[in-house]
Amino acid sequence: MKSYKFRINGNQYEVEVLEVDGNVARIEVNGTVYDVEMQREIPKVKTVVTAAPAQAKQVRETRPAPAKDPSGKPSDVRAPLPGVIIQVLVRPGDEVNAGQTVCTLETMKMENAIKAESAGKVTAVNITPGQSVLQDEVLIVIG
């Protein structure tokens, strides 16, 4: 199929992809054949370089996934779609109100304001700007 040459820590590797069947690839590395199980594709983080003034982006308001339990137990703010975190507006220990924007997620060239479903204290922030996230990944925990 395809051949590649890699240099890892000063060592040269010649890799040939022999076949791919579902999530298993049969590869040959320096003459030795391996079956490699692939778990998932790692999303690419895009680098933005601007030379001219940037255009204003349209911001679309989204609702986060419903809180797990309104009885005071921790609720998770989850990613509605896969994308890249643009900004994080809260830190652990911050008090948030229901409907308050806690972070901004870029998906399909759109910026989405991610809001808290319930009021409470932020107990965990699992994201940083520039980080790629998957759909339903827990971004922020509110206790």
Residue 74 has a pLDDT of: 77
- In whole angstroms, how far apart are CA 91 and each of 59, 72, 108, 122, 141? 22, 19, 26, 7, 10
In the CATH hierarchy, which fold is given to the domain comprising 59-142? OB fold (Dihydrolipoamide Acetyltransferase, E2P) (2.40.50)
Average pLDDT over residues 112-119: 91
d(CA 62, CA 48): 24
- Of 106, 100, 128, 119, the C-alpha closest to 60 is 106
Summarised one tens digit per residue, pLDDT across range 17-73 is 888 887 788 888 888 888 888 776 656 666 565 555 555 555 565 554 444 445 556
**CATH 2.40.50.100 in the chain, residues?**
59-142
What predicted TM-score, i.e. pTM, was given to this entire model? 0.51
Q: Average pLDDT in the 6-15 region?
A: 83
